[in-house]
């Protein structure tokens, strides 16, 4: 009877060891999977941060271009004022002769035409720059949301890993 009891105890101990070994292997596999997922999420977060940085750089470039366009528009406006003042002076002098008057009118018409062209182009450029800035801002906001979601997911996974280790 002692031999049978000893054999039963050894068999039970052996099956419990196998179950314990299987549970340990499962836990190691789950930990490896969680570590791999955390590494992948960390990589994704880093990629999103790089993308966000490039979008922010593009936004800064768009802002710089918009400022340059504003400066060009201001310069064009000053040129227009100068050209209009010159046209008025030419028209005043042109009263002496008909030929001079016609020439002054032609110059004034050309300047006005160029002004309209410059104003239309400047307005189109300004609108385009505004759209680019707005698009960059929207993309940046979306990426910030994605980065925050990924960071939250990474944080939860790290907590799960720590809880499993504990």
pLDDT band for position 100 (cuts 50, 70, 90): low
Give the CATH fold of the 2-165 domain: Helix Hairpins (1.10.287)
Q: Is the pLDDT of residue 166 over 70?
A: no
How far apart (Å, rounded) are the C-alpha atoms in residues 49 and 164? Answer: 29
Chain mean pLDDT for the chain: 87
pTM for this prediction: 0.34
The residue with tokens 């993308």 is: 51
The torsion angles phi and psi of 96, rounded to 5 degrees, stand at: -70, -40
DSSP state letter for 97 = -
The residue with tokens 């050209």 is: 83
pLDDT in tens, 8-53: 888 888 998 899 999 999 999 999 999 999 999 999 999 999 999 9
Question: What is the percentage of the chain residues whose pLDDT exceeds 90?
Answer: 37
pLDDT in tens, 117-158: 989 998 998 898 889 889 989 988 998 999 899 899 888 888
Residue-range domain boundaries for the chain: 2-165
Q: Looking at residue 47, what is its pLDDT? A: 92
């Amino acid at each position: 009877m002692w031999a049978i009891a000893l054999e039963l105890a050894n068999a039970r101990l052996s099956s419990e060891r196998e179950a314990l070994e299987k549970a340990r292997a499962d836990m190691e596999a789950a930990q490896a999977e969680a570590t791999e997922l955390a590494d992948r999420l960390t990589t994704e977060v880093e990629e999103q941060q790089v993308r966000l940085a490039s979008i922010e750089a593009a936004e800064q470039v768009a802002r710089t271009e918009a400022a340059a366009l504003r400066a060009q528009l201001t310069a064009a406006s000053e040129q227009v004022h100068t050209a209009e003042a010159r046209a008025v002076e030419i028209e005043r002098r042109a009263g002496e002769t008909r030929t001079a008057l016609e020439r002054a009118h032609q110059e004034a018409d050309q300047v006005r035409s160029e002004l309209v062209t410059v104003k239309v182009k400047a307005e189109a450029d300004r609108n385009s720059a505004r759209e680019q800035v707005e698009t960059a801002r929207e993309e940046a906001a979306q990426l910030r949301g994605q980065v925050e979601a990924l960071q939250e997911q990474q944080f939860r996974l790290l907590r799960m890993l720590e809880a499993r280790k504990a």
